[in-house]
Amino acid sequence: MARNRAIDDPLVATFGRLLEATHHLESVLGRELEDTAELPLTWFEVLLRLSRSERGELTMGALSTQLALTSGGVTRLIDRLQVAGLVERRPCETDRRVQFAAITTPGRAALDAAAKTHRQGLREVFAGFSPAELRRLDTLLDRLRPPA
Amino acid sequence: MARNRAIDDPLVATFGRLLEATHHLESVLGRELEDTAELPLTWFEVLLRLSRSERGELTMGALSTQLALTSGGVTRLIDRLQVAGLVERRPCETDRRVQFAAITTPGRAALDAAAKTHRQGLREVFAGFSPAELRRLDTLLDRLRPPA
DNA sequence: AAAGATTGACCGTTCAATCTTG
DNA sequence: CAAGATTGAACGGTCAATCTTT
């Protein structure tokens, strides 16, 4: 048989596992979240990131890299969240090219409500994991994230 | 400050890391693959899974769960790969409801060609990881994958 | 009736072009 | 002329309905 085939490379297999695991969890937890909290997983991720940032706001560009979406995609995503009243846009004082997306009070409420469901789902998913294993997973994943 | 907020839950943070890391790698490696090998990452994943399965074939249903796509999504994905000549459809002898997708010879060639680029990219991504760390990551991810 | 695959309508994202500001 | 955000067109996926086979 041929050597050097894709199937034989352990890194290819590792990456395949990463994709399979993530897509599976996204679909399971996403459905759960949407069914019980009426909140798409993407919206949850946006609100979460805004809520834990400095003044509850992040530039469109920052969201773009953190979510790995194109700038166009972020524009429209924030459009929808804004229509729903969960975020608002704020101009930047020092650079008129940039726009901030900021979480609103209803946004924080929606996030907290959704978090209840989401955490329950996550507990089930990670039920078999010890605290030490979770720490290991965290540190490994941190090294794969986009540069600051 | 309020207790019990989403931002405070370590599992929520872990899941956030998982999404961020995976989406980032998908976009970086996906672009790389598409630029150099003209092969979308999704196509690569399909061909890879077919190539390492029994007779180079998998049912639409199996692909659906492995890729975490709906059955409709898989139908159209395989449509496109078939038009490109990289897979073919085969009826099932024993159950006329099921369809197999099978990798073709050009499909294997495309996979092997793309794998060169892909492996180089993966080596860079995982450059800082020791063999032991990679094994740990593998076993952790395995426990998050969809049930057989 | 249930399961597998496909189809039509729709939705969210990408891509490329554009506009504005630095 | 580069950088940030937005827009129009196209694409890839979902959802729900449908058809065939079990």
For position A1, what pLDDT does the model report? 53
Q: Which residue has the tokens 């986009």?
A: A146
Name residue B87's beta-bridge partners: B103
CA distance linking residue A109 with residue B141, whole number of Å: 32
Q: Chain B contacts of A62, Cβ < 8 Å?
A: none
Query: Mean pLDDT in chain A?
Result: 94
Contact B33, B41 (CB under 8 A): yes
Average pLDDT for B2-15: 81
A56's enclosing H/E stretch is none
Query: Mean pLDDT in chain B?
Result: 94
DSSP B147: P
Best of A4, A9, A19, A31 to disrupt the B interface (most B CBs within 10 Å) is A19
Q: Chain A contacts of B49, Cβ < 8 Å?
A: 16
Quote the crossing angle between the two packed helices A10-37 and A105-125, to the nearest 10°. Answer: 130
Q: How far is CA B29 from CA A84, A125, B67, B116, in A?
A: 34, 27, 17, 12
Q: Give DSSP secondary structure letters for B27-49.
A: HHHHHHHHHHHS--HHHHHHHHH
For position A147, what pLDDT does the model report? 81
SS3 A57: strand
- Protein-covered nucleotides on strand C (Cβ within 7 A): 3-9, 12-17, 20-22
pLDDT tens per residue across span A112-132: 999 999 999 999 999 999 999
- What are the 10-residue block averages of pLDDT along chain A, 148 residues in total? 71 95 95 94 98 96 97 98 98 98 98 94 96 97 89
Q: What is the pTM of this model?
A: 0.93
Say whether B51 and A6 touch across the interface (CB within 8 A). yes
Q: How far is CA B141 from CA A19, A24, A86, B50, in A?
A: 9, 11, 33, 21
Residue B8's pLDDT band (cuts 50, 70, 90): confident
For position B128, what pLDDT does the model report? 94
A60/D7 CA-to-C1' distance in Å:
16
Contact A84, A75 (CB under 8 A): no
For position B93, what pLDDT does the model report? 96
Runs of H (alpha helix) within B38-104: 41-51, 60-67, 71-83
Q: Of A22, A125, A137, which has the smallest distance from its Cβ to B22's Cβ?
A: A22
